[in-house]
Structure 1
């Protein structure tokens, strides 16, 4: 879709449609240009009509890799449009992704304990997050103030995105300048000291040029949780030239800065190894692996805890329409992200502390810088040869990601051997009545002993959709990555650093066959692959194939890339005069060479794991006043060969994946009883989630239902008042399950009142 078309779409108030399950479609609304410029910010989806164009991408994101209308693309994709982000009051990526079934959220203790870590179809997608089609590797919590839509690509997506992406990938689409004038903003207040303001100004500064500025300030506590708070601000200016002409250029900058008090979570009720009992009487016996039953507002951290993140990113996008059927696009980006935190993890595991009513305050810390430079060039177009129509995309991509991870030295005392309070230097606290204001007087100092990781990638890809006849299409894609990773460890006690490196050639592909029994429907069968090489997270998260040898010193096969493959059969239909999209898909993802620990303690690429699943999706209008979208996902995951050292060998075979709910459901709906009044509601269900399904030491969080509500009133053509109540019934539930030690509590009932203005 070219720039002129994009501008018309914006002035017509078009919206990318959301679709769970098998596919997403473009949707467009009816309001005229004059009404759109003056109407207040809307909290509901406009009346939706599925279009016949490639609605998944405009000029940004993954570009032309989707070479057919998404109705005819054999790939599962979910698109969350701006209207849904606004209607649900989702202001972070995690909040946005909770509307997508089949996604869970993992917790960690190292690289990214409280940031974005989505699991898509059972696989960790932290390192498979993209911004406008380029990988965004830095560990962080992403904001929505400069976001047009969020796209979730499901299943192995190596042909689309390169390394990783075993279960899928997330692509965030940024706001860009348009050829029009508008100024809009929001002011929000709520319980738990919630305060937020956003501004979005777009100004046409010439016949073919425009400037856009987005800004945000946010400060809030967390309902139902003491101490935890989030404070951040951001700014995102961008300027575009040549809009509406064959040659266009867009220069943009993004800055986000946060200063948070992170949440500590709740320990599980069964420890890993209760060896040396602390002093005092035993208060309880072993639990079943669920979180300890304590008050919702207990906080095991200390006032010393902090999290300060910063992101700076500059991008230059160039586009040229070679002809009416071919377009060349290039994007260059330079970014730096910093993660700086000292975070207390409630460690009830060691020595069975929780059985004695105590928790050791274990400190996790990081001072990390990630510098990224990337360039992507893409040619897209259409042609006919021998009577057969082709729609293609060809691209080259180069990137370098370099991380430098340091820590803090913190005096955490002798665990709980001396009991709680002053005897432990306040490093051990009461399980039921912790005090974050304890007069902890230990020392904190930068370690100045960083580990470094560098990842370089050179990539080439090609996609083609071949229309054999009006009813049959073949869709194929091929990507080659020359992947090079190197790592240097922190110095050991003797001051010695170790260095490791590895080069791999990654070849991934996809192939799909599409049958169209009618113009408004399709049935497809697809196959795709992906590769997860060593060091793919660049030191920013959990890496099951880290750049280190096993204990035998073997650095060959045990560091080879994990290979993943997927099969999917799906169907998509546009019904009710193409106002409602319905989808269904069944799929399998399997990894047959996962890196595992063998019985002798060495590593081998011999693991086997599989996810079988089923998805349903719905998106659009049931009537002119009633909008719905949502979906259901069923995932049956199994660690078929998970290894294990010594007596643990084979002990977890047959268990479920961590962070993979068997059933998940989401529904968001809005209804307009009058032109000015809108009612909305959301229902979300997630079944039991395992942190670890190890029968000898399980960790898990229970299933939950969550309900949201929304009401919006259009005061006049410039102003709208919107009330959101999230977690309407104040449900106590856990939204993250770590593999050991702790689980994270979700916020309680949160009410947010927002005034939206648009001129």
Structure 2
């Protein structure tokens, strides 16, 4: 393969871009650090050119998942897997998990409320994956809003995958891989400024200690408003030190700590225009089901009342021993604590005041929760031969204990949203203590002077999981491989709920044991191509969220069996053009059976009687079209259907309807072009079709196309400047849909200038 004409032996060689089904993996951090060492010893002119290249273009390189459960390269893994490295995070100016996942077609986001916490809620292939997010292979409990300042890459596995991630994982799972100490010396600092009061600074420092140890420190401070939203404000800071002893030894241990703290003014969203049931005398006032038509900057929140404060603390110890035979034993012990505290405005709660009384009820959704998680996980990986079969095996166990305490806020004075005698019936503004806002031009600075008190309706939950798993890739010569995996989980969860008004106490508990499997057959007609068939399963028990998510344990479901899902998938992956370009594709069917459905509407008893189905096609392309032009992206087609809604009049009308948050079509593209050794230009396109908010297909948000631009210029070997324009056309679109009441408005046009310093 021919390198770029201005590259040197010390520069980052543009080999190939390999990844996953949707292809977004590029240069690895480890390769980056190794190249940095070589650059340090190069002549000054070579160093200058190398640093220029490093700062302005995306080089391609073979990349793999961090999970030991993947016992083959991604090219030969019979599953749809996407790896997003830090270069994409940096180039797209992504600062949150949601920002990063936007680059992957087939992923959408659901909105939170009170019972369903306001945090990250991704949907993968149409299925809620809020409780299927891992950090360094360990489950990340609780609904939270995750930062990426200490993240090296993000891995997404698609389709039912409880064999890999345990409970949940119906649509797939997400693993966030943290930065770790390297055998290198570097300092990367970034300062970003932009419109909407955007200011962000990060530092990433790695330092060798002697010959066999290293220390790494990541620090972040961020403050911004949401462009053209007239109210939401976000500020946070974080720090993440880590220390590795024994970088090159048979025995190594890594100590790490992560702290993130935020103090936000959350967005309140826009209500749907059809709040009334068909049986309501006001039903004729309903619109077609999309959010009401108001200016983009319409914000119904109250600055004097609303807030969201989150705090995450995570400490881990990872011990690794490498045997002379090549086998590796790793043990991870992780303790985490996450707190989520908020009061935020949910606009009108489907009461219809904006149609009858001319105002929007500022309902207060509240939550005060704390979740702790102690996990110990071990895995053993290695290779061996039996006869003519080569085995790559991984085995392990996981022990975890999660505990959640949560309650709501008591607010006084408090007003309802009732049409006849609620806040908006009394009047807008001071008449109802600002609990009712005008539909157009609401004032977030209205002087609310009520009182807040924690402790309303407290709930405590405990969840215990014990798991064993085994994976093996068996190679029958150069053309055939069989991938097998299995995982056993013993899952126990228990909740105790107190009703403050009556003093009543209720208890719920669920115990489930389940096996899940992964089977894939791979045919390699040539070394650079594979064709595969895959079958995988997942189990989703009541209380899968450990008390802090959208799928909780309750008296209405505590006696039910886990939901069961399976995925049948056929796909292919090819490295072309001297391994410079990767093309991928797959066709799949995912079915969830034994699904929990309400017997008489929302909040009623549930039974295992539902069935959901998604048929889909995914295409991916990634790599270098020329020596200067990098491109990656993907397309997703999802045909979803509620096959069996369950018994009862309330469910009968939903049969055959589409699933929520499941776009029929979605497309993503990110591309960069190195105009000169110092100047790179690029851009992105994100296209998504209409999605339904509710299973009855009466609430929806329109499809959209968002365009982004980027340009980067290397001033010298230490300093580069990057400019990003996100949502170039200032598109008014919605990026989260809730089932019943509202949708969240995406940011308007945002311009950011970043100054990147590296040494």
The two structures have a TM-score, normalised by structure 1, of 0.92
Q: After the TM superposition, which residues 443-522 of structure 1 pair with which residues of structure 2 at under 5 Å, given as runs? A: 443-491=451-499, 493-522=501-530
| Secondary structure at 2:565 match in 1 | strand
1:548 maps onto 2:560 in alignment: no
Deviation at 1:335, TM superposition (A): 0.7
Offset at residue 191 of structure 1 (A)? 0.4
User: Distance in 2 between the 1:514 and 1:18 partners?
Assistant: 17
Question: Alpha carbons of 1:188 and 1:113: their partners in 2 closer, same or farther (altered >3 Å)?
Answer: same
- SS of the residue corresponding to residue 90 of structure 2 reads helix
| Contact kept in structure 2, 1:458 and 1:481, CA below 8 Å | yes
In the alignment, what sits opposite 1:4? none
1:704 matched to 2:704? The reply is yes
Match of 1:250 among 245, 251, 254: 254
Moved more, 203-212 or 447-456: 447-456
Question: CA separation in 2, counterparts of 1:216 and 1:369?
Answer: 23
Distance 2:280 2:349 in 1: 13
1:213 aligns with 2:222: no
> Could you say which residue in structure 1 is the equivalent of 2:739?
739
**1:489 Cα shift?**
1.4
The equivalent of 2:289 in structure 1 is: 289
Partner of 1:34: helix, strand, or coil?
Answer: helix
Question: For residues 79-118 of structure 1, what are the structure 2 equivalents within 5 Å?
Answer: 79-111=83-115, 113-118=117-122
Cα distance in 2 between the residues matched to 1:517 and 1:423: 75
Does the 8 A contact of 1:225 with 1:747 survive in 2?
yes
Q: Given that residues 637 and 657 in structure 1 are in contact (C-alpha distance below 8 angstroms), is that contact kept between their aligned partners in structure 2? A: yes
After superposition, the Cα gap between the structure-2 partners of 1:333 and 1:94, relative to the gap in structure 1 and judged at 3 Å, is same
Please tell me whether the aligned partners of residues 361 and 412 of structure 1 are also in contact (alpha carbons under 8 angstroms).
no
Q: Secondary structure at the match of 1:417?
A: helix
1:21-420 mapped onto 2 (5 Å cutoff): 21=21, 33-35=37-39, 39=51, 42=54, 46-50=58-62, 55-57=63-65, 61-62=66-67, 64-111=68-115, 113-273=117-277, 285-303=285-303, 304-347=305-348, 349-410=350-411, 411-415=413-417, 416-420=424-428
Say if 1:25 and 1:472 are closer, same or farther in 2 by CA, change over 3 A: farther
Q: CA RMSD in A?
A: 2.3
The 1-side partners of 2:169 and 2:576 are apart by: 32
Cα displacement (A) at 1:347: 1.2
Question: Is 2:615 aligned against 1:608?
Answer: no
2:655 aligned partner: 653
Are the counterparts in 1 of residues 18 and 60 from structure 2 also a CA contact under 8 Å? Answer: no
Residue 426 of structure 1 deviates from its aligned partner by 1.5
Change (3 A) 1:229 1:40: farther
Partner of 2:44: none
Shift in alpha-carbon separation, 1:684–1:94, aligned structure 2, 3 A? same
For residues 363-408 of structure 1, the C-alpha deviation after alignment (integer angstroms, 9 at most, x for no partner) is 0111100000001100000001112100000101100111101111
Determine helix, strand or coil for the equivalent of 2:170: coil
Tell me how many residue pairs correspond in the alignment.
728
Residues 111, 139 of structure 1: 8 Å contact kept: no
SS at match of 1:518: coil
For structure 1, which segment, 437-446 or 622-631, has the greater mean C-alpha deviation from structure 2 after superposition? Answer: 437-446
CA distance in 1, matches of 2:541, 2:144: 22
Classify the secondary structure of the residue corresponding to 2:39: helix
Is 1:626 the counterpart of 2:629 in the alignment? yes
Q: Do 1:116 and 1:140's aligned partners in 2 also have CA atoms closer than 8 Å?
A: yes
1: distance between equivalents of 2:490 and 2:239? 35
1:191–1:752 Cα contact (<8 Å) kept: yes
Match of 2:4 in 1: none
Distance 1:644 1:234, change over 3 A: farther
Which residue is 2:3 aligned to? none
Closer, same or farther: CA 18–703 of 1 in aligned 2, 3 Å: farther
Q: Unaligned 5+ residue runs, structure 2? A: 1-9, 42-46, 418-423
Distance 2:416 2:537 in 1: 48
CA-to-partner distance for each residue in 1:582-630, whole Å, 9 max, x for gaps?
1000011101210112369643211011000000011111111100111
Which structure 1 segments of 5+ residues have no match? 1-9
Secondary structure at the aligned position of 2:410 is classed as strand
- SS of residue matched to 1:86: helix
User: CA 1:288–1:329 in 2, change beyond 3 Å: closer, same or farther?
Assistant: same
Deviation at 1:742, TM superposition (A): 0.7
